[in-house]
Amino acid sequence: LMALFSNTTTAWVLACTTYVIIGLWQSHRWSNLQASWWLGWMLTSFTFTSLQLIPAFQTISTLNLLVGFTVFNLILFSLFALRNRHAFHHVVMISPVALELARFILFRDLVDGLVASRWMTIIAAVLYGFAVVALMEWNGERHRWITMGVGTAVYALMTVIFSWPMILSYILLYSYLPLLLILFATPILGGLALRNIQMVDYHRWSPQHAVRLTLPLGVLLLCGWLTVAFYSQPTTTAEAAVLTNQARQKVIIDTDMSFDDYVAVMYLLQHPNIEVVGITSVHGVASLSAGTENIRRLLALTEQESIPVAVGAAAPLATERQFPSAWANVMNNALRPTLPPVTAAKLPSATSLMHEVVLASPDEVTIIALGPLTNLAELFTQDAAIASQIGRIVIGGGAIDAPNPTADGEKDWNLWLDPAANDIVLNAGTQLWVTPLDLTHYGLLFDSDFAGRWTAANQESETNLMTLIPSVLIAAAGQSQPIWDMVTAAVVTNPEICSNWQTLSLSTIHGDGETAGFLQVNHSKPANAHVCMQGDQTTFETAILNGTN
């Protein structure tokens, strides 16, 4: 019950410790069934925790991890069942506990504590109490089976009713079989540990007895250490988001329509886990009018004209900075021949579209900023409270430890163009993810081999342009190329790409100099952003291939 009513790490660890103490101290007074219940729950949780601490398991999907965990437990269960004819009773009786544990394992980062709602907590507590009383008072075989059947059925039904978004969408559709197997594998470790303890003859001590005692105790201590180590690690929002990839994320794309923006936008449009609910243009590489029209042409090409498009800011808030005009001419017209024409239309402003979509959506909306932050700054200036309604803002830009950009070197164009906007967005109080040049320019690159494999994986003619652009850029340069905004898009769909998330306090450099607008880290101030500093190239490529239709 301590674990049930808690949403804190300390209480959960304390509850597990309590199970250890009570299980070892009072096991001689309990039936095998009761002891298996408590020790089975505890040790199964420890086993799964141990697996998650192994680095090799970090990149394995939850489904595969649960399958491996289940197979391991089923092997142990088979050995245990061969020596205990009451094993099936143990399995059925602890099913409610196993079901709660499975929910906890799958949704630890997505719910408050072990349960999804206050009602779920109350019902679970009542059913647990009912099962305990039945174990102590109903000794008849017939009554025991009634207790098992009714208790398990009612608990399972209530679980589905009171947490149906998670249970139905994730368990039933994604990992129904592993969950069922876990229900019948939970008491294994507890049963084995209890059997070793009960076989010790305390009146006739021998080295064999010492082994039987120290082995389960050693396992318990090891599992306890692993659990404390696991739960003491802070869970970032980025890590928590890995599980949410199974549901479609609602995103608004804010873009200046450079070459890499085309790739990122098309990738997000066709990704099975992304629902693009709006695209807004902003000044940047392409001129505002041409960039806006190219967005509409791109939606026509991909047959997604129903997605709303809005016109953003044509210039920075307080400077006259702009891309070189030669670049704008190229981006305005280079890809036009490959895009279908569109008729003129009156479009809303970027701030009005963002405001309307965020407030109207029942789900959190992520805004992906692939250009200057002017639109977002204007949004927060008009309505500061909207910041708390946005799920997160993902900013593609900035440099942290990468070589310092200079006027005649590598410019971080997205943030350099509008320093005043950067300052407003960084201090808006919303959740920020940042993919700096450390990751997008110097980290994850496209080479000819991967570009070829991506082209082969793309089965839709409407998105041929998505894989063509990287191939052309690589061929023209003769070497691997950064596709900056595509890296940002991939981090949105697959946060596990990042191998080094850092929580930092970021601010923008002020003044009139060429470095105004660049990011700087303030070690003395509270953190305001999750920054992906490094990524795994293999995970990056695999995620893109798996996310391509």
> How many angstroms separate the CA atoms of 318 and 316, rounded?
6
pLDDT at 63 over 80: no
Which helix H or strand E contains 84, and what residues bound it? none
Contact (CB, 8 A) for 310 and 280: yes
434: β partners: 395, 531
Band of the pLDDT at 355, cuts 50, 70, 90?
Answer: very high
Q: Hey, how many other C-beta atoms are within 10 angstroms of the C-beta on 549?
A: 13
Q: Which residues have CB under 8 Å from 22's CB, separation 6+?
A: 38
CA–CA separation, 362 vs 348, rounded Å? Answer: 22
pLDDT of residue 1: 43
139-143, 485-489, 491-495: the lowest-pLDDT one: 139-143
Q: How confident is the model at residue 275 (pLDDT cuts 50, 70, 90)?
A: very high
Task: Identify which has the larger pLDDT, 71 or 93.
Answer: 71
Query: What digits encode the pLDDT tens for the residues 11-61?
Result: 555 555 555 555 555 555 545 544 555 455 545 544 554 554 555 544 455
**Regarding predicted confidence, which is higher, 3 or 454?**
454
Residue 449 has pLDDT above 50, yes or no: yes
User: What does the pLDDT read at residue 296?
Assistant: 96
Pairing state between β 365-369 and 506-508: unpaired
Outline where DSSP puts E strands in 209-364. 249-255, 274-281, 309-310
% of the chain beyond a pLDDT of 70: 53
pLDDT for residue 163: 41
Q: Select the more confidently predicted residue: 379 or 228.
A: 379
Task: Supply the pLDDT for residue 233.
Answer: 41
Tell me the pTM.
0.58
- The confidence score (pLDDT) of residue 288 equals 94
Which residue type occupies 329? N
Q: How confident is the model at residue 367 (pLDDT cuts 50, 70, 90)?
A: very high
**Residue pLDDT, tens place only, 71-82:** 555 555 455 445
Mean pLDDT of the chain: 72
CA distance 547 to 544: 5
For 294-310, write each residue's pLDDT tens digit.
Answer: 999 999 999 999 999 99
pLDDT for position 244: 41
Residue 503, number of CB atoms within 10 A of its CB:
14
Instruction: Walk me through the domains of the chain, giving residue ranges and CATH numbers.
Output: 9-233 (no CATH), 239-546 (3.90.245.10)
Give the CA-trace dihedral at 124, 129, 135, 141, to 10 degrees. Answer: -60
Contact 188, 76 (CB under 8 A): yes
| Residue whose token pair is 């932050």 | 373
The residue-averaged pLDDT of 283-287 equals: 92
